[in-house]
């Protein structure tokens, strides 16, 4: 949060267990989402569920779909990278044999 007088961010450091950090990482909807954004999202969802459980559940469903989509995209991306790597290795092997 920005400090109004100095216009600088007021930042603190917190200690987390590795398991907690891993759980936060699994809640990211996109690769470059920060832990700050994830924690703020958790707090937003908590307040939404308190005020309107139905709306909160819809929001959770949307977030869950985005997380699953990111995971699926990451797996596809990893498979593509593996295919490209194997193709390059095969081409190099063929060139070395010639």
| Tens-digit pLDDT profile for residues 83-96 | 666 666 666 666 76
Predicted confidence at residue 6, as pLDDT, reads: 57
Domain that holds residue 51: 21-97
- Residues 6 or more apart in contact with residue 55 via CB below 8 angstroms: 48
Domain count, the chain: 1
Q: The whole model's pTM is what? A: 0.60
50 within domain boundaries = yes
CA dihedral 17, 20, 26, 31 (to 10 degrees): -50
pLDDT band, very low/low/confident/very high, at 69 (cuts 50, 70, 90): confident
Q: State mean pLDDT over 56-83.
A: 78
35 within domain boundaries = yes
């Amino acid at each position: 949060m920005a400090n109004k007088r100095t216009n600088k961010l007021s930042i603190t450091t917190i200690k987390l267990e590795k398991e907690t950090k891993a759980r936060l990482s699994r809640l990211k909807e996109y690769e470059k989402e920060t832990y700050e954004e994830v924690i703020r999202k958790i707090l937003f969802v908590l307040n939404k569920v308190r005020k309107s459980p139905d709306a909160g559940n819809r929001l959770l469903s949307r977030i869950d779909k985005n997380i699953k989509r990111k995971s699926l995209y990451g797996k596809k991306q990893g498979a593509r990278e593996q295919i490209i790597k194997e193709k390059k290795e095969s081409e190099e092997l063929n060139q070395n044999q010639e």
